[in-house]
């Protein structure tokens, strides 16, 4: 099979021929159709985070494709069958037994493994995945749409859910990219009003088209001042990698507001002002990825026509170009590798 391989940190990926992997007893072999390119792929390739990825590594955790083979134990442990279209997400597997897994927080499991980081991912013609942790893609959902929903969608959706977003809330979305353009839509579905904040005018226009009630270009305007004129944000999503944007997100909160931190900047440190946090009753929440149930919800919403994925596509041999375009902000919202 052809695969994009990271052999050394901070070096370009190499598209090469590798043996097609064999699925284990509880695994499925997926013929990849599409694989979304995420900022986490860039962080993995550069070794930005404290825990380094395995090397060599096939990145990718927004994979969508067809199950071609299943391990002997799959029929007894999963409802996935050969021929199904499935999504291969960031959460490769979790233990299923700890308190986090048992209480619906499998993304906090200490024994979890992650596709495209600790195990090989989906920037390849084939990938193996645990049969219980792939998500079934509904009929009629375009694989080019399903790929970004597998990470960007589920992560944005989970962030709004952990903030208990609902009707009457004012949600400030800081960063209108792959996650942000979907967060705008999920917030509207949940009944909230939305303020979209970015530094690129085209992305703000996109946010308006997707339902944002207010937009702020942080280059020339003061997001904090505008949001406070609206009464303050009850929920602020930190999707930008700018430390300044995250600080502004915190400052924009109304009394009792919730700041959800999602982005993982390489050198990001939030200087938390204790006095207003305590006296205004603010909450700071960390939210990473989403669960299998969240992914099911995200696919159901898209299949019902409630969401729109804004994306461009590249071929597998253009993976380094895709990484460069993503890092430079030269993407509509999400880029997807098309391996069909």
Here the CATH number for the domain that contains residue 280 is 3.40.50.720
Looking at the fold, whether 270 and 252 belong to one and the same domain comes out as yes
Instruction: Say what percent of the chain tops pLDDT 70.
Output: 99
Q: At what angle do helices 39-46 and 319-328 cross, to 10 degrees?
A: 100
Residue 29: pLDDT band (50, 70, 90) is: very high
Q: Where are the beta strands (DSSP E) in the chain?
A: 2-5, 14-17, 27-37, 63-70, 85-88, 91-93, 113-114, 126-130, 135-136, 170-174, 193-198, 214-217, 233-238, 253-261, 283-286, 311-314, 334-338
* Tens of pLDDT, residues 311-324: 999 999 999 999 99
DSSP secondary structure letters along 106-165: GGG-TT-EEBTTTB--SSBSEEEEETTT-EEPPTT--HHHHHHIIIIIHHHHHHHHHTT-
Q: Helix (H) and strand (E) counts for the chain?
A: 12, 17
Q: Which domain holds residue 175?
A: 164-286
Looking at the fold, whether 22 and 50 belong to one and the same domain comes out as yes
In a domain, 156, yes or no: no
Q: Is the pLDDT of residue 267 over 80?
A: no
In a domain, 158, yes or no: no
In a domain, 248, yes or no: yes
Residues 174/237, Cβ–Cβ less than 8 Å: yes
Looking at the fold, whether 64 and 100 belong to one and the same domain comes out as yes
Looking at the fold, whether 37 and 124 belong to one and the same domain comes out as yes
Looking at the fold, whether 238 and 279 belong to one and the same domain comes out as yes
Residues 50/92, Cβ–Cβ less than 8 Å: no
> Residues with Cβ < 8 Å from 171, sequence gap 6 or more?
160, 165, 183, 187, 192, 193, 194, 195, 233, 234, 235, 236, 237
Looking at the fold, whether 9 and 144 belong to one and the same domain comes out as yes
Looking at the fold, whether 108 and 172 belong to one and the same domain comes out as no
Residue 329: pLDDT band (50, 70, 90) is: confident
In a domain, 159, yes or no: no
* CA–CA distance, 170 with 268 (Å, rounded to integer): 25
Looking at the fold, whether 186 and 89 belong to one and the same domain comes out as no
Mean pLDDT along residues 105-115:
96
Q: Which of 286, 302, 328 is the last residue of a domain?
A: 286
pLDDT on residue 265:
78
In a domain, 157, yes or no: no
pTM of full prediction above 0.85? yes
**Total structural domains within the chain:** 2
Looking at the fold, whether 261 and 312 belong to one and the same domain comes out as no
Residues 293/271, Cβ–Cβ less than 8 Å: no
């Amino acid at each position: 099979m052809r695969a994009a391989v990271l052999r050394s940190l901070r070096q370009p990926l190499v598209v090469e021929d590798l043996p097609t992997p064999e699925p284990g007893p509880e695994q499925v072999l997926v013929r990849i159709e599409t694989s979304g390119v995420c900022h986490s792929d860039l962080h993995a390739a550069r070794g930005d985070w404290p825990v380094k990825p395995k090397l060599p590594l096939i990145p990718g955790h927004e994979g969508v494709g067809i199950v071609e083979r299943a391990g002997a134990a799959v029929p007894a442990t999963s409802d996935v069958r050969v021929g199904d279209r499935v999504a291969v997400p960031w959460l490769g597997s979790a233990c299923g037994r700890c308190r986090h897994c048992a209480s619906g927080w499998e993304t906090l499991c200490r024994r979890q493994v992650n596709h495209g980081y600790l195990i090989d991912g989906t920037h390849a013609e084939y990938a193996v995945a645990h049969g219980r942790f792939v998500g079934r893609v509904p009929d009629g959902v375009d694989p080019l749409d399903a790929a970004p929903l597998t990470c960007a969608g589920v992560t944005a959706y989970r962030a709004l859910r952990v903030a208990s977003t609902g009707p009457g809330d004012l949600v400030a979305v800081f960063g209108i990219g792959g996650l942000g353009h979907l967060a705008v839509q999920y917030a509207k579905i949940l009944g909230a009003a939305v303020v979209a904040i970015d530094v690129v005018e085209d992305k703000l226009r996109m946010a308006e088209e997707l339902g944002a009630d207010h937009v702020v270009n942080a280059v020339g305007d003061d997001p904090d001042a505008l949001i406070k004129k609206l009464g303050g944000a009850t929920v602020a999503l930190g999707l930008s990698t700018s430390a300044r944007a995250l600080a502004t997100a915190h400052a924009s909160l109304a009394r009792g507001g919730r700041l959800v931190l999602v982005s993982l900047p390489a050198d990001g440190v939030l200087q938390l002002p204790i006095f207003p946090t305590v006296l205004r009753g603010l909450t700071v929440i960390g939210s990473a990825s989403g669960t299998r149930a969240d992914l099911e919800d995200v696919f159901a919403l898209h299949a019902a026509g409630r969401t729109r994925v804004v994306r461009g596509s590249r071929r597998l041999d253009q993976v380094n170009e895709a990484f460069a375009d993503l890092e430079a902000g030269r993407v509509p919202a999400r880029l997807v590798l098309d391996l069909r």
